[in-house]
Structure formats: structure tokens, C-alpha cells
Structure 1
Amino acid sequence: MRRAIEKADILIEALPYIKKFQHKAIVVKCGGRQLLNKHIINNILQDIVFMNYVGLNPILVHGGGPRINEELRKLGQKIEFHQGQRVTDKKTLEIVIKELGGLNQEMVKKINQLGAKAQGLSANAGSVIKASRLKQHHGRNIGFVGRVAAIEPQPVKELLLKNFVPVISPLGIGKNGQIYNINADMAAAEIAAKLGAWKLVLLTNVKGIMRDQSDEDSLISTLKVAEIAGLLKRKVILEGMIPKVNACIAALEKGVKKTHIIDGGIPRS
């Protein structure tokens, strides 16, 4: 009985938010070590299904870094990043495509098992991301890494109209048919902007942006775009957090109302 009352209280507390975001698109990006923890990913997908049930329009964009790294290690391939972007040669690209495709299918299957309807979208099927090669990244060629040239929103809109949850892999396709590895945070930001999403939520495996990495109580709960340059200069924002912050800025500048970087490991976050 107590658990039933607690669940009812949670729903009652959520009602104003459910009403506010009814029929609005919310882009959620998950990735990182979350994808290696079945309990965490199950909680995230349950939340996605709940959002769908109560009339929101969740769109899930996923990365796959740790899974890709595991496969690269098995094959003896070099793992290299430059300014938060994966250096992607031809062999690495093949592995990226394979692992992202497998993850996409797994997530679609799990969402369907949880009671909602989901469909995967990637460069191979229902392509959403049009890309061009990122020839230089801070002065370096990093291989088959792309930037988002355009977003084709129609496949996503059609799924939302049928009450499906779109599950999108961050692979882009160029004019010549070449597939490119796209940073998942930036892909999510561009998708959110093109679809006029109300929110962009980037799930990570840390609490968020910390003023002091050694102090768990130094979480920055709210941040304005104007403050970011100073935090970058002082190296408060580092490594993998840099693409996330850049993605949030891009989304906000293109009309997304709010962006969030939150710990995906916290249930119901």
C-alpha cells in the first residue's frame, strides 16, 4: 500500500509538467558507460516509454562509445580521441557502424517490450542526418568524422504522428553516399533544433558540470551561455564535457527552449 501511495504521489507531482509538455518534442541523448549497465539503460528506456504514454513526444538519440571501444580492443585497433571526437579511420568506421546498428536494434526491441512502439533510424535506414566530412578539427584530420550538414525531419515527424518513439543512431550520410561518424551530442542538438523541440536532455555518467572535479558539492545547477567561455578558459569544462556544452549552445542558439546535462544513472532523473 505504501508503495502504491508513493507512486501516486509521484504522478500527482508530475502532472503539471505532463500538462506543460503535452505533445511537445523532447530529445533525449544517452550514451557512455550507461549503455554498459543493463539496469541503468532499462531505467532510461522505462522513462522514455512513460513520456510516450502520457502524451509527450520523446525522441531518443544514442551514442555507443564504450561498446565501440570494447570491440576495437578485441580487434587490436587503436582507440584515439582528439578534442572529444573519435579519430575514425576506415576500419574504425566499420566497427562504429556495426556497434551502433546493434545498439539501435536492442533499444528498439526493449522499448517495444516495455509496451510502447519504437522504430530505429540510421544512415542505412530512414536517414535523418545529412553530413559532410569534417576535414580539419582544430588543425587535424580525424578521418571519417562528419559534421551535420542538414537534418531531414520528415521520417521523425511521421513516426511521432503514429505515436512511435524514434530511436536515432548518430551516423550521417554524405552526398556521395559515404557514411560518417557524427558526435552524438551534436547530432541530438541539431535534431532538437530542426524539430523545434522544447527540451534537449543529454544524459551522462557524471552529475554534470562541476566547478571542482574533486568536490561533489560543486555542481553547477544552472548556467548561462555567456558564462561558458570563462569556464572553458579556466579548464572547468574538460574533455568529453566540451562537445556536450557545445551541443547545448548550438541547440539554444537555434531555438530550443532549454537544455540539460544530467546524470543518467539517477533513477527518474
Structure 2
Amino acid sequence: MRRAIEKADILIEALPYIKKFQHKAIVVKCGGRQLLNKVLINNILQDIAFMNCVGLNPVLVHGGGPSINEKMQKLGKKVEFHQGHRVTDEKTLEIVSKELGRLNQEMVQKINQLGAKAKGLSGNAGKVIKAERLERRGRNIGFVGRIASIDAQSLKRLLSDSVVPIISPLGIGKDRQLYNINADMAAAEIAVSLSAWKLVLLTDVQGIMYDTNEENSLISTLKAAQVEGLIKRGVIRKGMIPKVDACMRALRKGVKKTHIVDGSIPRSLLLE
């Protein structure tokens, strides 16, 4: 009986927050090792389903880097990156498309099993992301794209019907060519197109830390003016740079709040 009362108290305590965010778009990006860990991804999808069922409008954008790397290695393909972008030749694009499609379908099925409604979307399924080739001086990185536009109206129609869009970061060009897109940047542009209340990037680490060896050095709040200096000092580095860039871009274009959150913490989405 006591446990039941505690659960009821938690729901009552959550009511003001549910009311505050009701019908507001919240874009969540997951990827990396989260997608390889069934417990982690199930927790994330449970949070997404809960948000949907209480009247929030979650949108899930996912990557699939480790799964793609694993598949490429099994097929004898070299895994290569240039300035944070996966070098994507025709065979690599085929692998990326299949792996993202598989992951997308699995997440849609799980959300539906949890009692919410979900729909899988990407460049070649729903054509929600319009893209163009990303050029890099002195290096051909293949079928890597940048976002030209987002079909926000299609997403808004799904949200108005209480459907969770689950989006893989593949864009379609005017020439019908498929392009591989950075998932963090895709999430940011989708958040901007929806005038989202929040953009949440789930990571494999605690967040931005002054010292990665010191647990108490987490930077819980960061102002835009601090970012450049922290990059120069090497505090923000490697894979965290594109995530911070995505957050900054979203904030500059009207998204109210952005968060970089440790996706391994149970209920981290609801805690935010």
C-alpha cells in the first residue's frame, strides 16, 4: 500500500511539469552505444512513450554509428571519418541505409508495443529531410549531405495526431540521391523547424566536463559566450564539439533550451 501511495505522490508532483510542457515539441537525439544496449534503449523508449501518453510531443532522431561500424567491418569495408563525417561511398551508403532502417523499425515497433503510436521517417521513407551534397575542400567524402530543408508540416501533422516521429538522419536531394547526415545536426534542424521547446542530445558520457577523470567537474550550465573559449582550451573536444555546435545552432534559431545528457542514467529524459 505504501508503495502505491508513493507512486501516486510522484504522479501528483509531476502534474505541474506535465502541464507546462503539454503539446510542446521536444526533440530527442539518441545514438552511439545506447542503441547497442537493450536496457538503455528500452529505458529511453519508455520515457518517449510516457511523454507521448501524457500529452507532450516528443520527436526521436537516432544515429547508428557503432552498429554501422560493426556491419562494415563484417563486410570487410574500411571505416573512415573526415572532420567528424563518415566518408560515404556507394557501398557504405547502402550499409548505412539498411542499418538505420533496421534500427528505426525496431524502435517504432517498441514504441507501439508500449502503448504509444510511432512512425518511422527518413530521407527515403517519408522524405522529411531534404538535403544537398556537403563539399569539403581537398577531399571527396562521398554521399555526405547537409540539410537544405525539413518538411515541418508533415511532422506537425503527426504530432497533432499524437504520433511520435522516429527519424533516421538520411536526406534526399533534388536529384533523388540519398545523403548521409550528421544526426546531431539533423536533430537541431528538426528542433528549429518545429520551434521546439527543447532539444535533448543523449550521449555516452556525463556531459561537458572540465576534467574527464574528475566526476565533480561536470559543467551543469553553459552560456553561449563560454563555448569558444572552452573549445580553445580543449575542454570541449572531439565528439562533443559537433554536439555543442548543434545546440548553439538550435538556440540561435529559436529553440528555447538545449541539453546534453548522459543517456545511461535511468529516466534521464524525464529528469530533464
Structure-2 separation of matches of 1:46 and 1:245: 26
More deviation in 257-266 or 234-243?
A: 234-243
Task: Say if 2:116 is the partner of 1:116.
Answer: yes
CA contact (8 A) 2:124 2:171 kept: no
Structure-2 separation of matches of 1:203 and 1:62: 10
CA contact (8 A) 1:88 1:144 kept: yes
**Correspondences of 1:1-269 after superposition (within 5 Å):** 1-136=1-136, 140-269=139-268
**1:105 alignment partner AA:** Q
Deviation, 1:2, is 4.0
CA contact (8 A) 2:53 2:116 kept: yes
**1:66 alignment partner AA:** P
CA contact (8 A) 1:84 1:242 kept: no
Deviation, 1:13, is 2.8
**2:220 alignment partner AA:** S
CA contact (8 A) 1:83 1:239 kept: no
**1:239 alignment partner AA:** K
TM-score (norm 1): 0.97
Structure-1 separation of matches of 2:188 and 2:255: 9
Distance 1:265 1:2, change over 3 A: farther
**1:158 alignment partner AA:** R
Quick one: percent identity of the two aligned structures?
77
Once the two structures are superposed, what CA deviation does each residue of 1:182-230 show, in whole Å capped at 9, x if it has no partner? 0000000000001110000000111001111111211100001111101
Structure-2 separation of matches of 1:80 and 1:15: 47
Structure 2: segments with no counterpart, 5+ residues? none
Q: How big is the alpha-carbon RMSD for the aligned residues of Structure 1 and Structure 2? A: 1.2
Deviation, 1:19, is 1.0
**1:17 alignment partner AA:** Y
TM-score (norm 2): 0.95
Deviation, 1:161, is 1.5
Structure-2 separation of matches of 1:29 and 1:192: 10
**1:108 alignment partner AA:** V
Once the two structures are superposed, what CA deviation does each residue of 1:109-159 show, in whole Å capped at 9, x if it has no partner? 00000000111111122111111111117x533221111111111221111
Structure 1: segments with no counterpart, 5+ residues? none
CA contact (8 A) 2:207 2:260 kept: yes
Once the two structures are superposed, what CA deviation does each residue of 1:46-81 show, in whole Å capped at 9, x if it has no partner? 000100011100001111111101101101111122
